[in-house]
Amino acid sequence: MNPKLLIAIRDNDVAARLDQCLEVLIVQLDGKGRPLSRKNLVLAKPSDKEICRIAQAEGVGAVICGAVDEEISLYLTWKSVQVIDDVIGPVEEVLRLFAQGRLVRSTIIPDETAKRMIQNVSNETF
Amino acid sequence: MRLWKGIHHMTALGADTLLDKLPFATAVITPGRRVLFLNRAMEALTGFSRDEALGLRCDCVLRCSACLDDCPLAEAGEQDKPLSLEGDVINRDRRRLPVRLSLSAVPDETGAPAFYLETLEERPGGIRPALEGGPMSFSRIIGRSPAMERLFETLPAVAQTDSSLLITGETGTGKDVLAEAIHQASPRSKGPFIKVNCGALPESLLESELFGHRKGAFTGAVKDKPGRIQLAEGGTLFLTEVGDLPLPLQVKLLSFLDDRVVYPLGGTSGVVTNVRLIAATHHDLEAAVAAGRFRQDLMFRLNVIRLHLPPLRDRGVDVRLLLDHFLNVCSAQLGKNVRGLDERALATLMGHPYPGNVRELRNIVEYACTMCRGEQVTASDLPAYLKPQSSAPDAARAAEQEQHAAPQADYAELERGRMLKALLEAGGRKGKAAQALGLSRTTFWRKLKSHGLAGEEKP
C-alpha cells in the first residue's frame, strides 16, 4: 500500500462526515508505518469531491474519515484508494492504530469524556 | 451527577421503553453534546447501537448536515418550542437520507436544559441522487437531463431560504408542482401552502381574495374575511400566473413585499404576516416590463431567486423517462397491465414536439392507457392528432418514414416533416394544420418561419 494517508479532521478528531469536512491531514509514513512528514490542508468550502481530487493529486493510499457517501466510497475504491470510514476518535490515536495495522472500518475510540460517561452509567446500573 | 440520577429515575420509570415505542428516531443528548440514549428507531436509522453511541459526540453519531453546519443546541435551549431543521444524514451503511431534525430542550428544576431530545424524521420529498444510472428526483419531479440535474442540485438550498422565488417556464412544465415541492422540502412545510391564480379572477375579486376585507368594505361584505396572504401565515403563498396580475394590484403586492404587512380592503390597520412568496409565470416578465405591463420594481422583488423549468423539447432523454414513468403510473391507476409501447407508437411519441410539455405528455399517455386493450400501446391507441395517417399523401408519408427510419435524426428535421405533413393534410390551411399539431396559430407561424416554410403573408 502507498505509505501516504489522508485523514479528514475537525480540531483534534476525525471529522464526522467527509462531505462536511473543512480540513484534511496528509501524513507520509515510512516503511514501518511511522509518520515521516505531515501537512494540513484547509478547504475553502466543504466538498467530498474536492477531497477526492486532493487524495489523487497527493497520491495517497488510504482515506480515513467518519461518514462517507456510498458513491464517493466506490469512486475512491475504484481509484485504488483504500477507504477506512465510520471512524470516530482522536487523530493521534487513529494514526497510532493505523501505523500498527489495527485500524479498520467502524473503529470507535472513546475520548476521556465518553469513557467517564460509560463508567458513570455502569455505576448507576443504567 | 444530578443528570445521572434523573436518567436513572427515567429508566426506573420505563422512559427508555417509552422512547423505544416512539415512531420517530429519537436521541437524548446532554448539554455537553454527548449521546446519552438512542431509541430503537434511531439505532435503525444511524446504524449505531445505544451502547456504542453512549458518551460519543452527538454530531459523530447522528451525522446530520444541519448539526455540522451550525450546531443548533444553543438555539434550542433558548426557545420554548421545538426547533425544526432540514438536512440529511449519512448512516453507517453509507446511505444518505434526507431528514427533518427536531430539537427540544428538557429543562431541570432551575429552568436550564437538563438534556435535549433530538428526533430525526425521514423526508420522502428530499432530493435523491442518481444511483445505478437512475433519474434524480425532487418530490414528484423526475429527470435525468443535464438541465434538470442542474436544477435539482439547487433545490435543497432554495427550499431552505425564505427569499422570494420566481419560477419561469412554459405552460405544462411543472411550475406548480415545483412550487409545492419546494414548500414541502422547506422548514415551512408544517404551515399551509396557499395557491392563488392571478389570471383566474377579475381585479376587484382578486384584491379581496389576496388581501381580505373588513365588514362593510363593499356591498356583500357582511363580515371580516382574511385574505389568502393571511391564510398562508407560517407557510408559503404561491402566486401562479403572476404575469397576469393587474397593475393596481402589483402596487399593493409590492407594498406588501416591502413591509410584510397586509391591509385588508376597507381596513385602516394592517396585519403583520410571516409568509414566503413563490411566484410563477409562463410570460417573459422582462418583455412585459419593457411593454409597461409589469412593474420593474415588483419583478426585482420577486426575482430574488429565479428557477427556470426547461421545456420538454430541451430535456432530451427525459421524454423517454417520463413516458415510461407515466405509463407505469397511469397503468396502475387505471388497473391495467400496460407494459410498454410498440415501435411505431414510441417513434411517434419521441418525435412529437410537446408544445404542452410534461402535462401534454401525461395526458397523451393517460389517453393511450385508457384506449389500450392489450399489454402494449400501439399507434392506434394514441390521440387522433398524433396518429400517423395511412392515407397520407406521398410527401407526408415520406416525412413519416424518414422519422421512423431515423429516430436519432435531428429534431428540427423531424418537426419540419411533421409540419409539412400537417399542412398537406389540411390542404394548405395553416389554422387547421396548427390545430392538428396542437399548436396555436402564432406558434405554428413562428415555427414555419424558422423552418423556412413561411411565405410573405402574415399569420
Three-state SS string over chain B comes to CHHHHHHHHHHHCCHHHHHHHCCCEEEEECCCCEEEEECHHHHHHHCCCHHHHCCCEHHHHHCEHHHHHCCCHHHHHHCCCCEEEEEEEECCCCCEEEEEEEEEEEECCCCCEEEEEEEEEECCCCCECCCCCCCEEECCEEECCHHHHHHHHHHHHHHHCCCCEEEEECCCCCHHHHHHHHHHHCCCCCCCEEEEECCCCCHHHHHHHHHEECCCCCCCCCCCEECHHHHCCCCEEEEECHHHCCHHHHHHHHHHHHHCEECCECCCCCEECCCEEEEEECCCHHHHHHCCCCCHHHHHHHCCEEEEECCHHHCCCHHHHHHHHHHHHHHHHCCCCCCEECHHHHHHHHHCCCCCHHHHHHHHHHHHHHHCCCCEECHHHCCHHHCCCCCCCHHHHHHHHHHHHCCCCCHHHHHHHHHHHHHHHCCCCHHHHHHHHCCCHHHHHHHHHHCCCCCCCCC
**pLDDT score, position B406:** 42
pLDDT digits (tens, 9 = 90+) for A91-122: 999 999 998 889 999 999 998 888 888 887 76
Q: Please determine, for residue B164, whether its predicted confidence score (pLDDT) is greater than 80.
A: yes
Facing residue for A126 by CB, picked from B7, B90, B91 = B7
Q: For the segment B118-160, what is each residue's pLDDT rounded down to a tens digit?
A: 998 877 554 444 433 455 667 678 888 888 888 888 888 898 8
Strand A13-14 with A4-10, pairing: antiparallel
Residue of A nearest to B91 (CA): A67
8 Å CB contact of B11 and A126: yes
* Amino acid B76: pLDDT: 66
User: What pLDDT shows up at residue B309?
Assistant: 92
pLDDT tens sequence across B253-300? 999 998 899 988 888 888 899 999 999 999 898 999 999 999 999 999
Find chain B residues with C-beta within 8 A of A17's C-beta: 63, 65, 68, 90
Hey, are the CB atoms on A20 and B69 less than 8 Å from each other? yes
Chain A hits for B68, CB-CB cut-off 8 Å, are: 16-17, 20
> Which of A16, A124, A126 is nearest residue B60 as measured by Cβ atoms?
A16
Nearest chain B alpha carbon to A46: B69
Give the pLDDT of residue B410: 57
| A88 touching B (Cβ < 8 Å) | yes
Rounded to an integer, what distance in angstroms lies between the CA atom of residue B414 and that of residue B403?
6
Q: What is the interface pTM, i.e. ipTM, of the complex?
A: 0.92
pLDDT value of residue B396: 45
- Report how far residue B121's alpha carbon sits from residue B236's, in angstroms, rounded to the nearest whole number: 21
Q: Give contacts of A70 with chain B, Cβ < 8 Å.
A: 93-96
CA distance to partner chain A, nearest, from residue B120 (Å) = 17
Task: List the single range of A6-20, B128-142, B201-215, B272-286 with lowest mean pLDDT.
Answer: B128-142
Mean pLDDT of chain A: 89
Chain A residues inside the 8 Å CB shell of B2:
none
Degrees to nearest 5, angle at CA B94 with B92 and B100: 80
Q: What is the least distance, in Å, from the CA of B437 to any CA of chain A?
A: 44
| B433-452 pLDDT, tens digit each | 888 877 777 778 877 877 77
Identify whether the C-beta of residue A111 lies closer than 8 Å to the C-beta of residue A11. Answer: no
Shortest Cα–Cα distance, B55 to chain A (Å):
4
Q: Which pLDDT tens digit goes with each residue over B261-270?
A: 998 888 888 8
Average pLDDT over residues A43-71: 92
Q: Which residue of A has its CA nearest to B55?
A: A114
pLDDT tens digit string along B24-67? 789 999 888 899 888 888 888 888 888 889 899 999 999 999 88
Q: Which of A11, A12, A14, A17 to mutate to test the interface with B (most CBs of B within 10 A)?
A: A17
Average pLDDT, chain B: 81
Q: Is B153 on the interface with A (CB under 8 A)?
A: no
Q: Is A104 on the interface with B (CB under 8 A)?
A: no
pTM comes to 0.48
CB contact under 8 A, B68 and A16: yes
Smallest Cβ–Cβ distance between B55 and the set A20, A71, A118 belongs to A118
Query: Cβ of A16 under 8 Å from any chain B Cβ?
Result: yes
The verdict on B431 touching A (C-beta cutoff 8 Å) is no
Beta strand B141-143 with B165-169 is unpaired
**Reduced to 3 states, what is the DSSP secondary structure of residue A60?**
coil
A92–chain B Cβ distance below 8 A for any pair: no
pLDDT of residue B390: 45
Instruction: Inform me whether the C-beta atom of residue B17 falls under 8 Å from chain A C-beta atoms.
Output: no
Report the 10 Å Cβ neighbour count for B23.
9
Count of beta carbons in the 10 Å neighbourhood of residue B242:
26
Residues 22-81 of A with CB under 8 A from B: 66-71, 73
| Chain B CA closest to residue A73 | B94
- Listed by number, the residues of chain B in 78-117 with a beta carbon closer than 8 Å to a beta carbon of chain A are 89-96
DSSP bridge partners of B38: B27
